[in-house]
Amino acid sequence: MKIFKEEIVALIHESFSKKELKDRDMNITMRHYGWDGDGGCSLQQTGDEYGLTRERVRQISNAFTKELAPLAEARLTTLPALVEALSIRAPASASRVEKELSDLGLAGDRIEGIIRANAAFSPVKKKLKVVEESGVRYLIIPGMEGVSTKIIAHAQKACSHLGMVNIDDLLYLLPGIPKDQAINYLRDVLETRPDRVWLDAGKKWLWLKESPRNRLLTCLDKMIGVFNSTTVEFVLIGANRYFHKGKSRASELKAPVDVVSQFIKATGLASVSPNGIVRKMEGFKQRTKVLELEQSLLDVIASRPEKIAREKELENIIVPVVDGHTHAKKYRFSNALNYSPLIRKGEKRGEYVANGMV
């Protein structure tokens, strides 16, 4: 198998066959452009290593590269395939690409040298670059700087609001990128989070455990604290009662039941049986406070033989009337009735039942 780095070295010796080859100039150029396989470095860093100014490093590298140019296209036979392989994979984790290109002639080296060689010698220039963001190297298309940071931020926000995030819901952050490439890049970025928990075999649903707040987790904690057991479907219904309609982004969790089941198991708060029954684990300690109005609604509903109560009935019992006017408590009553995960609408208009009671 032909190796790109070996071809570069052979090109250097052939290009300087009739001239004196200065090892120092060769080492400076190889180091700066990353042709030594180590990823290259800036003019300043190279200059510091060799005791030169940035301008002198630039002059040496440019002059040395010009000597290689006449024979480069013919001798660097691995370069076109490597450049094309980079192009069809970008954006991507640089380390993943380097593993995939090992058998194409990269042989474990870093890809920066390929990008620099393409810019110096190829008739068709591909617009590619490697950036380091949050300590991770990414192969990107110019103009995508900082996108990985946005992906993490948006995924974290989704986990706070919905409990988890679907990869497809982040595709809008990568406009113009083919879907398969975009999904691979999203996974590359999200894989860098040590708190990631993939909730399905296809890696479409993800939970970032350290995201501040998590409404699905809050809902689960509250429901199994009140009811000894519930169902996955009730947990999902309860979580979706938190969200307001009309937002620009989807505000309803539409995860499959098996994904929600996996989330519940991953929290360590409860177990899930094969038929979807959720039971709190031994030693469970409830962290979410049940509001007084929520408990009052549950008490009234539980006191009815059918375990159903109408809205007006609930209001008359729970919300006092003072001097002929409805108490200010009515607003909090409406919020509890419409948004508490412990309550849900019944089959008939105006009816409410306890959500989570098995």
Same domain, 184 and 96: no
Rounded-to-10 torsion of CA 286, 289, 293, 297: -20
Instruction: Supply the mean pLDDT for the chain.
Output: 92
Q: State residue 307's pLDDT score.
A: 93
**325-326/343-345 β-pairing:** unpaired
**Which pLDDT tens digit goes with each residue over 248-280?**
444 789 999 999 999 999 999 999 999 999 999
Q: What angle do CA 221, 226, 230 make, to 5 degrees?
A: 75
Q: Are residues 121 and 157 in the same domain?
A: no
What is the four-CA torsion angle of 248, 249, 253, 258, rounded to 10 degrees? 150
pLDDT of residue 18 exceeding 80:
no
Nearest Cα to Cα of residue 200 among 171, 167, 174:
167
Q: What percentage of the chain reaches a pLDDT higher than 90? A: 82
What is the separation of C-alpha 237 from the centre of its chain, rounded to a whole number of angstroms? 25
For the cut 70, the answer to whether the pLDDT of residue 284 exceeds it is yes
21 with 84, same domain?
A: yes
In a domain, 233, yes or no: no
∠ at Cα 310 (308, 315), nearest 5°? 125
Domain boundary among 88, 110, 140: 140
- Dihedral angle of Cα 168, 170, 175, 181, to the nearest 10 degrees: -60
Describe the strand order of the beta sheet including 136-140 as a list of residue ranges: 92-93, 136-140, 129-133
Least confident of 7-21, 69-83, 127-141, 317-331: 317-331
Asked if 98 contacts 38 with a C-beta cutoff of 8 angstroms, the reply is: no
121 and 15 co-located in one domain: yes
Residue 278: enclosing H or E segment and its boundaries?
strand 277-280
Span 328-337, average pLDDT: 78
How many domains in the chain? 3
The residue among 140, 164, 181 that closes a domain is 140
The model carries a pTM of: 0.88
Please say if the pLDDT value at position 327 is more than 70: no
Residues of 35-62 as b/e, b for ≥16 C-beta within 10 angstroms? bbbebbbebeebbeeeebeeeebeebbe
Do 58 and 77 lie in a common domain?
Answer: yes
Host domain of residue 108: 4-140
What local confidence, expressed as pLDDT, does residue 203 receive? 97
Provide the token pair at 78: 């691995």
Please check whether residue 62 lies inside any domain of the structure. yes
Counting runs of H as helices and runs of E as strands, what totals does the chain give?
A: 15, 14
Domain boundary residue, one of 140, 162, 182: 140
CA quadruple 282, 286, 292, 295: dihedral sign: negative
Q: Are 219 and 239 in contact (CB under 8 A)?
A: yes
Question: What element of type H or E holds 56?
Answer: helix 54-75
pLDDT at 344 over 50: yes
Banded pLDDT at 338 (limits 50, 70, 90): confident
